[in-house]
Each structure stands twice: as C-alpha cells, then as structure tokens.
Structure 1
C-alpha cells in the first residue's frame, strides 16, 4: 500500500464516519469496515468501563473508539483501551498503538473474525499484555495474555456469571461478568 492509498483510505474513513452515525468504522487489512453499534455492544462497553476505571492506578486512563494505527493497512478503534493518562489528557483522535497496555473488544455478528482472529495477532505483535473479548452472542469472555509475534500464547474462556481475576501490568483487575448483557436471540439460533 502506498502513502496515497493510505491517505485515500483515511479521507474515506473520515467521510464515512460523518455520513453514518451509529456505525463503528475501522481500517482492517486494508479495507474500510463499518459495523452498526447495537445496544448490547454499548451496554457492554459502558459496564466494562465502570468496572475497570475504578481499579486503574491514577497514571492510566480508558479510551474508547479512538484510532490506533498499527500499520498502513490496519487502524483499529478498540471498544476499550487502557493508555497512559498523560497521553489521554492530550485528547487526540488517534494514538500510537504502542501506548496500549490492555485492550477489549465486544463481539458483534459482523466482527467475529476480526475480534477472534485478526486483532489478536496485531495486538500481541505490539506487546499488548492483555486482550479481552467480550461476547454477548455466546455469553462469555475470552482473555488472552502472553503476547508473541504470532498471537497470544495464553487463552481462557470464562462463561458470563463468573468473575475474572486478571493479573496484569496494571495490577490485579477483578472483572465480574454477571451483569454483562447476553443476546438471547443469538443464543437461540445455535
């Protein structure tokens, strides 16, 4: 991909974000990807934000849906990312991916492959210590850790209703999953 290709994608991305409110827009594998944001998606982010924010040391902050360029063909907007508070105070629309210490994505029907296969490779390749996938479609949380060049070497799946104790570089985080929303319609289709 050339610089002009990237500039073209970013220009299109900016226009699409303005034209389609209610859609999350990212660049994934060189393509602009748009996903509608559903109530369970937003509710999951909000609840996770509330859980994590109170446990973070003061030098860390949460951001949501801001851009993190990984390379010329991948610019992700994580549902939730923990970055240094000093960087968050700058109030940018994009940050270097290397700032992320913990990242979380909420699965939607359209994002399953990206959240479970594509993003873990990229997040791990940047050394992001912990990656959480919250899945209201399956009613579970997947935690990934021990990043390597090809992805995360550790992975556990925890059904909603249990409590995750996450030992991270940020300290011990306790994430109860009892009140995270589950899409009953998605489960009934299985």
Structure 2
C-alpha cells in the first residue's frame, strides 16, 4: 500500500458524513454521493428477497471487496454470503466469497456502474454483476467473467424477473419491487 492509499483509507474510515451521504473513492478521487430514497428502498427490497428466496444465505451491504487492486476496493450495494461464512464484525469480504454483486445506479455513479465497475468485478472473478438502474427503471445482468470481461449480458425492465445463479441455486428477484426515481 502506498502512502497515498493509506491516507485515503484513513480518511474514508474517520470522516463523518450525514447518513444521507456516502464518500466514495474513485479513480478521479474522493466523491461525496447523495443517497436517494429510490436507492435505499431498492437496496432494502433486494435484501428482503435474498433473505426470503435464498435459503442458507445472508444479504450483505455497506462493505468493501478485498483485496485492494490498484489501490481500489469496490463497495457494492448488495451481495450475499452463506450463513456460516458471515463475519458479523467485518466490513470487508474477500472477492472469492462473493457469488454476485449488485450496484444500484445513482445519478453520480451511472457512468462508473456501467463502464468501470464491470471491469473491476470481472477482473476479480465475481461470477455475476447486476446493475439496477433506478433512473431508467432497467436492469442489466452480466455473467461469465473471463480475462477481465463479462462474456454474457441480459437486460430488462422493472417488472421482469431476474435469475441470478448462486452456486447450486438460483436467486429469482422480482424487479417490480424496485423503486424508480
């Protein structure tokens, strides 16, 4: 870890922001991100569906994916872990343990969610990346990471069912429950 990376990590951990805001480290620096109700509501509804439809798994959010690569640790909005792998005291989880990640699009994150994060998640070998776009009421499911790129893509509109392969199960999300801005 470089001196700059260590400083940024310290800032991220110690800076206090209102609950309605998040501080994100991007390649362009630190960004303060407003959190909309559509974002929070959609995230919570995905949590609820994971809880109800993926037996033996626990939804997780507000975490970082480790290890850092190029000084960057992504912070997806949602994922899940097998109950026995959950460390309640951790705010970082290993990329190899994550069967999927979900990003709920915000006005400031749209470009990164569609263009930068797919590369980060595919390079890490995360099997599935779901983009939930509350701005356009659409979703995009990227699967089969290979050589730093996802090889398969499906898209749909809110109201469609989304099938996410999770180890030996399929998580079916009802996107009609998602909120649009």
TM-score by length of 1: 0.86
Contact 2:105 2:131 in 1 (8 A): yes
- Tell me whether 1:67 sits opposite 2:64 in the alignment: yes
The CA distance in 2 between the partners of 1:87 and 1:167, in whole Å, is 19
Which position in structure 1 is the counterpart of 2:116? 118
Deviates more, 1:93-102 or 1:114-123: 93-102
Aligned-partner SS, 1:43: helix
CA displacement at 1:123 relative to structure 2: 0.8
Q: Which runs of 5+ in 1 are unaligned?
A: 184-190
The CA distance in 2 between the partners of 1:81 and 1:163, in whole Å, is 18
Which position in structure 2 is the counterpart of 1:10? 9
Contact 2:47 2:60 in 1 (8 A): no
CA displacement at 1:152 relative to structure 2: 0.8
Q: Which runs of 5+ in 2 are unaligned?
A: none
Change (3 A) 1:170 1:141: farther
Deviates more, 1:6-15 or 1:131-140: 6-15
Change (3 A) 1:25 1:100: farther
Contact 1:121 1:149 in 2 (8 A): no
How large is the RMSD of aligned CA atoms in angstroms? 1.8
Aligned-partner SS, 2:93: coil
TM-score by length of 2: 0.90
Give deviations 1:80-113, integer Å, cap 9, x for gaps. 0123433323421222222211100100110011
* Aligned positions of 1:1-190 closer than 5 A: 3-16=2-15, 18-29=16-27, 31-58=29-56, 60-69=57-66, 70-183=68-181
CA displacement at 1:178 relative to structure 2: 1.3
